[in-house]
Structure 1
């Protein structure tokens, strides 16, 4: 037996799947740009060149991970999707199956949500096509369940339900497994049955926007680039060009990319904290406070779309001390929502309350960035209504 034959015999038949699993874990923990081919190969005990027998590059690994993940999701859901239009028997099994799948593949859900932008263009198109087929089944079933809905309204509610499931990738709250799945299914059902409610509480007090300074122009340009391409893919030169500022002039305002990212994170944290203070001060009850917070959060996201995406996804690229501080502020903000929700609904424990809150926040975060929904004229009221439906379920 030759040496090549011996190596081939020893090579596991599932090496490609092993590499994909290892890559997904590394991408989730470190971010796509911080992971190299050699890191992925080393995670399964082979050399970097050995990985090229299975994948052309790490971008191809990401494509394989996400496309096979969508296929697994479709396989599990197609069996129950046909019953969507029967509220007596079909809807609950579908929602529960989707909930269980989301929890089982929680890490993949996070990867799909936050690293999918790094896919090769062909893989991005294919991912959109496959998810579009799955979404079309949801929309068709929802239209049969609720024939009064227009195509656009059905799409809004379907994407909102998918955001409920996707929210599990944005946090680590972990209620008991059976209860977790039931709760997610309850939340998704609240969304697909949401009839809309009057905008509650009113908007937060309007604050005039200051005239954009050169520093603000740079911050705005940078957050847009970070959101679209990721922190590591953007250079200071890119930021300067986007803001119409060349060369060393950038450094009069920021010491470097990390300084810009930290400023963006603090800006978002300040806006959220200010809205929280306004709402809790004016509220007459925990329920009223949550309704006011829903409207305040929607207003903040709609005027800070790039900032909220960067705040949610990029602060891990900061130095550890700064990242830790911003994560503390994020947790404190969610904790205050959860505290109010538990006062309104004492049957929820802390983990369950955080699942509900994160679902509401994720729906508001996701839909303004979703094609076909962004330009809806009543989107602010619709987002508020959806968040309230989740909080009041």
Structure 2
């Protein structure tokens, strides 16, 4: 069973891969070079190349390590005597391991962009098998759930467990683990509304931006491409071609790619602020205000899934001034949520509520990106409401 203490890797290659992953998460994959990694470890670039041929191999090794440990955590409850104890042991081990690897656990949100299809298939196999095991463990506890619903609950649960890696809020290790486990306990017991009878996978229309003005069309296509490929893999020519505009004409609307990325973040921050204000206006009680905020946030995130994905994965590529503006906007948004939750759940610590808020926001972001017949706005909101202290909808 994985230890609750930060494990010092015995394998030199594992050490290098984890240090590289920490740098990738802190600065962005393309903003880190082999020499940066070597300097952080205290070796030469030549010495590092003796272990790994390139950055992609370093990333693959880090993903493999996380997948292997994830599977070990899930297996850690196998010998517990009852189904609830087996499920709890697996989830508790995952929470502890995520806290051990808080600096690298958010790899799951963007690693696939930089690995080829064959690598992804091999590296994600242990993870996928472990997720299926978690689903079966939940079904052993709640045999009345459908496999589809169990899969959705497990997806949301894993988003909560991974959420400490997506923010910088501070909380003692013991309180952080307890807060996350409390959220997990609520999620694994939640009753989901039935999916729509005609639920089907959502398919984007290829012409959905055709009637937008040029400037808006460029921004929309840039967001889509940044999400699909990653910021550094997209050129101004790619964006212009997708928007049906000559590359040279792009510069009459935006100074360059960095300005497009900054515009995407300003757009996201502005929409979140406007949505929050609209949701809270005229609310009669904190509980009603929080319920409206949940519904509004789920709606805008699902409607703008590409923008939400870029928002959480490309901030390291923003110019410094825009990054400062983004972080200030993020703090204000989280403060709004935390303030409402504090009124709905009086007596709980502000730091714990902040961790809970980030967990809820991460569920929405991850499920919006997942898409699929069982992942609907109503079902996503139904996962958040009891976790944040609201009653389920009648």
The normalised TM-score by structure 2 is 0.88
Q: Does 1:41 align with 2:26?
A: no
Q: 1:121 to 1:198 in 2, by over 3 A?
A: closer
Alignment RMSD, CA only?
2.3
Equivalent residue runs for 1:169-318 within 5 Å? 169-196=165-192, 212-318=212-318
Q: 1:14 to 1:101 in 2, by over 3 A?
A: closer
Distance in 2 separating the partners of 1:198 and 1:292: 21
Shift of 1:375: 2.4
Deviates more, 1:233-242 or 1:171-180: 171-180
Shift of 1:198: 10
Residue from 383, 387, 391 that aligns with 2:380: 383
Shift of 1:188: 1.0
Distance in 1 separating the partners of 2:187 and 2:298: 16
Distance in 2 separating the partners of 1:170 and 1:13: 27
Shift of 1:83: 4.6
Residue from 135, 139, 154 that aligns with 1:139: 135
Please name the residue that 1:205 is paired with. none
Residue from 147, 150, 153 that aligns with 2:149: 153
Shift of 1:378: 6.4
Equivalent residue runs for 1:107-146 within 5 Å? 107-146=103-142
Distance in 1 separating the partners of 2:325 and 2:104: 26
Distance in 2 separating the partners of 1:116 and 1:168: 20
Shift of 1:139: 0.8
Please name the residue that 1:67 is paired with. 64
Residue ranges of structure 2 left out of the alignment (5+ in a row): 1-8, 196-208
Distance in 1 separating the partners of 2:167 and 2:43: 32
Distance in 2 separating the partners of 1:13 and 1:332: 42
Query: Between Structure 1 and Structure 2, how many residues are aligned?
Result: 369
CA contact (8 A) 2:105 2:165 kept: yes
Q: 1:253 to 1:93 in 2, by over 3 A?
A: same
Please name the residue that 1:79 is paired with. 76
Shift of 1:159: 0.6
Superposed CA offset, 1:60-87 (max 9, x none): 0000011112112221330214659623
The normalised TM-score by structure 1 is 0.88
Higher alpha-carbon Rg:
1
Distance in 2 separating the partners of 1:13 and 1:289: 51
Residue ranges of structure 1 left out of the alignment (5+ in a row): 1-11, 200-208
Q: 1:118 to 1:345 in 2, by over 3 A?
A: same
Distance in 2 separating the partners of 1:81 and 1:293: 40
Shift of 1:255: 0.9
Distance in 2 separating the partners of 1:227 and 1:81: 38
Shift of 1:42: 2.5
Please name the residue that 2:389 is paired with. 392
